[in-house]
Amino acid sequence: MTHRFAAALAALALAVPAAHAQYPTRPVTMMVPFAAGGPTDTVARALAVSMGKALGQTIVVENVPGAGGTIAPAKLKNSSADGYTLLIAHIGMSTAPALYRTLPFKPVEDFEHVGQVVDVPMTFIAKKDLPPNDFKSLVDYVKANKDKVTLANAGIGAASHLCGLLFMSAIQTDLTTVPYKGTAPAINDLLGGQVDLLCDQTTNTTSYIKSGRIKAYAVTSKARVPSLPDLPPAAEAGLPGFEVNVWHGVYAPKGTPKPVIDRLVAALQAGIVDPAFAQKMAELGSVVVARDKATPDGLRNHLKAEIDKWTPIIRKAGVYAE
Ligand code: ASP
C-alpha cells in the first residue's frame, strides 16, 4: 500500500463517521403514499413537526400517491441510503404482497425499518343523505341496493380498500368500488354526494363526523373509540369478528448507515411522545405506540406478523391487482 493511498484511506475512515455524526445537515424528505389531506398525510405532517424538532432539521412531507400506495415504497427502494429520504406507510405494506401479482419491492427485505408510529381505527361513513341510520340498517340497505351503492377507496392496497374488501366479504355482497389517490379526495366526493360509502381512518373522518357533514355508522376496532363514543364497533353491531386496525411505520432505504438509523429511531421515539403530537393523535382517535414498538425490530416483527395474518385472508377473498 502506498503511503498516499493509506493516508487517503485513513482520511476516509475519519470522514465517514464524521458525516454520520453530523446527520442531518439538510432537510429530510418523508414520502406519503397517498394524497395530501388524507389520514396518512395527517399523521405524517404532525410527525414531521415533532420528529423534526428532535432531529434539529426540517422534515418535508412529499405526497407520492398512486397504485394503492405502492408507488412511494418503490421510489424509496431506489432512493439514496443516506437518511435524507424516508417513507411513512401503513398496513398496506403488509397487504400489498398478497394483493399485487407483481410488486416492485419486498416490504421486509428491501428497507431499513425505523419503527412504528400510531395505531388507527377506521370508521364506516356515508354521504349525508344515505337513508339508513344505524349499522344494521346500513347492511340491509347495501344488500338490497347492491347494484346502485358505490364504495370509495384509495386504490388496491389502501386501508380503505382492505376494509371494503372485508366488509363485502362479511356481508357476501359485491359493490361497485371507486378508487381514488387517497381518501382525502374520496371524502370530498362523499361530501358532494358522488359516492355513497367509505371505510376510512379516524384521523381523516373524525372532524367530518363531529360536524355532522357525513353519516357515521361504526368503528372497525374491537372496542369503542374514546373520541367517537357514539359509534359501536362493527363486530358488535352485526358483523361478529370484524376488525381492522391500521398501523403506521417509518422506513428508510436499505443500507442506510446504522448511526443514521439510530438518530432516526431516537427522533421517532421523542416525536411520538411530544405532547402536541400525542394530543392531536388522541383527538383523532388514534393511539401512539409503546416505545419498544417504535424501533426497527418492533416494526419488522409487526410487519412480518401482519403479512402472515393478511395473506391467507386476501388469498381466500381472491382479489388481485396486476
Ligand atoms: N391512508 C390512505 C390515505 O391517506 C387511505 C387509505 O389507506 O385508505 O388516503
Ligand 1 pocket: which of 201, 220, 245 to mutate (most atoms <8 Å of CB)? 201
Number of Cα atoms under 13 Å in the Cβ half of residue 314: 24
Q: Tell me, what's the pLDDT at 317?
A: 74
**Nearest atom (ligand 1) to Cα of 162:** 8
CA dist 169 to 174, 175, 249, 318, Å?
8, 10, 27, 10
Ligand 1 pocket: which of 34, 43, 94 to mutate (most atoms <8 Å of CB)? 34
Lookup: cell for 69? 400506495
Specify the range with the lowest mean pLDDT, choosing from 3-7, 94-98, 155-159, 289-293: 3-7
**Looking at ligand 1, which residue's alpha carbon is closest to its atom 9?**
182
What average pLDDT does this structure show over 135-143?
A: 97
What average pLDDT does this structure show over 213-238?
A: 96
315 band by pLDDT with thresholds 50, 70 and 90: confident
Angle at which helices 258-273 and 39-55 pack, to 10 degrees? 110
CA distance 71 to 28: 19
**Nearest atom (ligand 1) to Cα of 182:** 9
Ligand 1 environment, Cβ below 6 A: 34-35, 38-41, 90, 154, 158-160, 182-184, 200
Residue 139 has pLDDT above 90, yes or no: yes
Q: Tell me, what's the pLDDT at 3?
A: 57
Verdict on whether the full-model pTM lies above 0.85 = yes
**Nearest atom (ligand 1) to Cα of 181:** 9
CA dist 52 to 29, 79, 114, Å?
11, 20, 15
- For residue 152, give the nearest of 120, 185, 112, 122 by alpha carbon: 185
Q: Mean pLDDT in the chain? A: 93
pLDDT cut 70: percent of the chain above it? 93
316 band by pLDDT with thresholds 50, 70 and 90: confident
What average pLDDT does this structure show over 268-284?
A: 96
**Looking at ligand 1, which residue's alpha carbon is closest to its atom 2?**
182
Specify the range with the lowest mean pLDDT, choosing from 53-62, 125-134, 164-173: 164-173
Q: Tell me, what's the pLDDT at 101?
A: 87
Number of Cα atoms under 13 Å in the Cβ half of residue 34: 36
**Looking at ligand 1, which residue's alpha carbon is closest to its atom 8?**
160
